[in-house]
Amino acid sequence: MNNNAIEPYSAPSVEITRMSAKLPPLPPVIRYFDDFYNEMRSIRDISSSGKISILVDGLERFIDFDAFGVLDIVMKHVVVDWFQRLDPTTVIMKVANVLRYIARCGLEPVAYLFVSSPFDSRAYWSTQVLSDVKADESWALRAALHSLCRLNIGHWSPLSTSIIRGLKKPEGRQVPRRSRWRLFPAS
């Protein structure tokens, strides 16, 4: 059995299908700034594309939505949200990190996070996801959940962002905290 497949009648698969059916149409054109060539670029008709091409740092990169299986429509909405807020290099990295997690752990954990209530997702994160997720995958998965909040998808809403911020980070290498410089010596 393919590790990336979700059983077609499993609870997460059915819920993802319901969630996807309720989503608004995707925009016909997505625009992003190509800082390598210093120009705006367009991605057309993402809704019917299984794979899209993006120019990043002078190289053509692809996002393969077919690799997301039943999550493809939801992930298209997440990626559109990312393009509206992030540079294309960051979008490519986040997509790659989500796909890397899916390749190692399957679609079901991500589907469960997406369709569950924020409180159930937090418990699932702590008991199931946290032990297998790497730091860069964790940041990408949490960014996807933040997008679900911004877009009001499923049980996620802007009020749920504090739950995502509170998700435990994986052990190991972390981004160092910025030191705070004092302008005046302590008295």
Name the least confident of 10-14, 48-52, 89-93. 10-14
Cβ atoms within 10 A of the Cβ of 154, count?
A: 23
In a domain, 6, yes or no: no
- Confidence grade of residue 11 (pLDDT, cut at 50, 70, 90): low
CA-CA distances (angstroms) from residue 179 to 3, 166, 176, 182? Answer: 42, 21, 9, 9
Residue 32: pLDDT above 90?
yes
Average pLDDT over residues 100-109: 96
pLDDT at 30 over 90: yes
Domain presence at residue 5 = no
Element at 16 (helix H, strand E): helix 11-21
Structural domains of the chain, count: 1
**Domain assignment present for 73:** yes
Residue 136's domain spans which residues? 11-165
In a domain, 170, yes or no: no
**Contact call for residues 79 and 95 (beta carbons, < 8 A):** yes
Q: 5 pLDDT band (50/70/90 cuts)?
A: low
Residue 2, in any domain of the structure: no
Segment 120-131 shows an average pLDDT of: 97
Is 109 domain-assigned?
A: yes
Q: What is the pTM of this model?
A: 0.86
Does 149 map to a domain?
yes
Residue 111 placed within a domain? yes
Using one digit for the tens of pLDDT, what is the confidence trace for 66-76?
A: 999 999 999 99
